[in-house]
Amino acid sequence: MICNLFLPAIVEFSITKPLRRIRLGNIPASLLRRAAYRPANSHSEMKKLIILFTLLAAGFFALAKWSPKTVERIMFWKRTAPQIVSPQNLPEPAPALSASKPEEDAVPPAPSADARVVVDKTAQVVVLLYHRIEPSAQTAGDLNVSPEVFEQHMQRLKDEGISVISMSDFLAWRRGEKSIPSRSAIITIDDGYVSAFDTARPILKKFGYPWTYFIYTKYVGSGGKSITWEQLGQLRDEGVEIGCHTVSHQDLRDPRGKTPEAYEQWLRDEIAGSKTIIEQHLGIRCTAFAYPFGGWNSRIVQIVREAGYAAAFTVYGQRITHSAPSEKIGRYAWSSRRPQDIELALKFIGPLSSTEPGPTPPPSSATANTLLTQPLDGETIADPQPTLKVNLSQIEGIEPSSVSVRLSGIGLVPHKYDSSTHLLESRPPEPLTPGEYTVTISGKAGSKRVETRWRFTIAQKTASGP
C-alpha cells in the first residue's frame, strides 16, 4: 500500500529526472546525433558511450536491488490493480473513520472492470435452524437436537461439499457485492437457549463454521437456560452474528384482542423495538430478523421492511436463490418428529425458493455483526466506568503498537488491542463523573495517521425522592 502510494514519486524523482538530466546535460548533442546517425567509429566517442551505458546499467541494477517492484513497473509499465473497497467495509454510520491524507497522496486510480467482483447469481443457499442442543436424556422436546446428531449434521455439510457462509456474506451476495460458493449453507440457532453457547459453539468452532443466533430480548438474562447479554457480547466478539427474534416471541399474526392501534404499536415494539434493544446492548447493527413460529402477513412484512432489516427468515425450508424475496427466506428447522426435513437441506435437494422478484434489499453497508462501538455513538449510559469497545477492522493496516485511546477530559486510557480480531477494549481507570465524553482512537496505518472518535454520555444519577 505504501509502496503503491510512493511509486509514482519514486519513478518521477529517481529515474525520470536524472535520465533527463543525463540526456540533456551530460551528453553533448553532437555525440547523440552522431551515435544516432552513424556507427561510432571514433575511439574516444566509443569510450564515452561505454562509460555512459555502464553507469546507466549500474544505476539500474542498484535500483533493482533496492526496489524490484519499481523496476518491474518501469520495465513492464505495470499498473497496479486498484483495491476494491466494498461498502460493507466502509465505516458507517458511526464512528466516522478518517485517514488524514499526506500532501503527496495521489488520486486513486479509477477501478478497472477486471477487478470487479463477479457474483455467482446461480448459487443456492440452504438455511438450517436449530433451537436447543442438549443431550436427549436431559430434554425431551421435539426441537431439541442432541450434540451428537448436531455434530453429524455439521460433518454431513462438510462431506457433501456444502460451504457454510456467514449471514454477512449471504447479505453481501444478495446485494451483488460478494460471490458465494454454488452450494452454500447458513446455520442459525433460535431463541436464546444457553446450549447454543455451551454446546453448539464448541462444535461449530471445531468445524470453523460461522453462525447466526436469533434471540428474543425478553428471554435474555432471564435465568434458567437463557443466555446472558454478557455471553452474547462474547459471541459477538468471536464473530457470531446476532439476529433479532422479537421481544416476546409471540405469534405476530395474533392481535390477542388488541385494538387495531394497540396491535400496530405492539408490532412495532416487537419488530423494531427489539432491534434497538439488541443494537444498544451489543453495539452492533442487527440486519436479520426471524419471525416467531415463521409467521408473517403483509402488514408484518411491511413493518419488518420499515425497521431496516435486510433479510427476514421463516421456517419453510427451501433452496434460496439470488432473487428470492428477502423478507421470506425459508429455513429447514430441525425437529425430532420430522428429521427428514433437514435431510433435504443436507442433500441439497429441497424445493427452490420462489423467484418472484422481491423488493431490493436495502443498501445496508454495515454487516450484521459489525461492532460499531460500545457504548454506541450518542448513547447515554448509567455505568460510570464502562468498558469501551470498537472494531478497528475498517482501518486497514493499522499498526497495533501505534494505537492509543483518549477520553475527553481524562487523556490517555489504557487499552487492549487484539490484532487478530481487530477488537479494541479500554476501560477508564477511575469512574467517570456524569457528562458527555468523546473517545478518540488514533494510530498509524503505513504513512497515514488514522483516527476515529465517538461520543457517549454518563447519565446523572437519578435523584431519589425526599
Residue 308 φ/ψ region, left for φ over 0, alpha for ψ in the -120 to 50 degree band, beta for the rest: left
- Select 148 or 251, whichever has its Cβ closest to Zn ion: 251
DSSP state of 93: S
Q: What angle do CA 58, 60, 66 make, to 5 degrees?
A: 105
C-beta closer to Zn ion: residue 312 or 392: 312
Which CB sits closer to Zn ion, 190 or 451?
A: 190
190 vs 341 by CB, closer to Zn ion: 190
Question: Which residue, 337 or 461, has its beta carbon nearer to Zn ion?
Answer: 337
Q: Which is nearer to Zn ion, 333 or 395 (CB)?
A: 333
- Closest by CA to 326, choosing from 350, 356, 285, is 356
Binding characters for Zn ion, 180-219, by CB under 5 A (x = yes): ----------xx----------------------------
Cα dihedral 136, 138, 144, 149 sign: negative
**Least distance (Å) from Zn ion to the CB of residue 192?**
9
Given 3-state DSSP classes, what are the helix, strand and coil percentages for the chain, each rounded to the nearest 5? 35, 20, 45
Helices and strands, number each (H, E), in the chain: 14, 20
Number of residues that bind Zn ion (CB under 5 A): 2
Let me know the angle formed at the C-alpha of 122 by 117 and 126, rounded to the nearest 5 degrees: 105
- Shortest separation between residue 216's beta carbon and Zn ion, angstroms: 7
CB 287 within 8 A of CB 367: yes
CA–CA gap between residue 325 and residue 341 (Å, rounded): 21
* Extended strands (E) in 177-260: 183-191, 212-215, 241-244
Least gap, CB of 214 to Zn ion (angstroms): 7
Smallest gap from residue 270 Cβ to Zn ion (A): 13
> H helices of 238-273, where?
260-268
Q: What residues pair up with 458 in beta bridges, in sequence order?
A: 381, 435
Length of the chain: 466
Judging by DSSP bridges, how do beta strands 388-391 and 423-426 pair with one another? antiparallel
Question: Is residue 388 within 8 Å of residue 405, measured between CB atoms?
Answer: yes
- Nearest distance from residue 293's CB to Zn ion, in Å? 7
Nearer to Zn ion, 95 or 292 (CB): 292
Q: Which is nearer to Zn ion, 177 or 191 (CB)?
A: 191
- Rounded Cα gap, residues 395 and 124, in angstroms: 32
Q: Closest CB to Zn ion among 49 and 143?
A: 143
Residue owning grid cell 457474483? 119
241 near Zn ion (CB under 5 A): no
Residue in the structure block whose three cell numbers are 444519577: 461
The residue sitting closest to Zn ion, measured at its beta carbon, is 190
Minimum Å gap between C-beta 352 and Zn ion is 25
- Contact string (CB under 5 A) for Zn ion, positions 136-175, x = contact: ----------------------------------------
Residue 374 and residue 108: Cα distance in Å, rounded? 33
Taking the complex as a whole, the smallest distance from the CB of residue 135 to Zn ion amounts, in Å, to: 21
CA–CA gap between residue 460 and residue 41 (Å, rounded): 94
Instruction: Give least dist CB 292 to Zn ion, A.
Output: 5
**Closest distance to Zn ion from the beta carbon of 249 (Å):** 6
Please return the burial class of 2, using the count of CB atoms within 10 Å of its CB with bins 0-12, 13-18 and 19+: exposed
Beta partners for 190? Answer: 214
In the complex, least distance from residue 81 CB atom to Zn ion, rounded to whole angstroms: 45
Listed residue (439, 427, 426, 431) closest to 459, CA to CA: 431
* Nearer to Zn ion among residue 134 and residue 190 (C-beta): 190
Residue (of 130, 112, 254) closest to 192 by Cα position: 130
Where do we find the cell 431496516?
308
- Name the minimum Å distance from CB 190 to Zn ion: 4
Whichever of 191 and 241 has its CB closer to Zn ion, that residue is 191
User: Considering beta carbons, is residue 7 or 315 the nearer one to Zn ion?
Assistant: 315
Helix H or strand E segment including 17: helix 17-21
**In the bound complex, what is the minimum distance in angstroms from residue 259's beta carbon to Zn ion?**
26
Per DSSP, the three-state class of 70 is: helix
Residues near Zn ion (CB under 5 A): 190-191
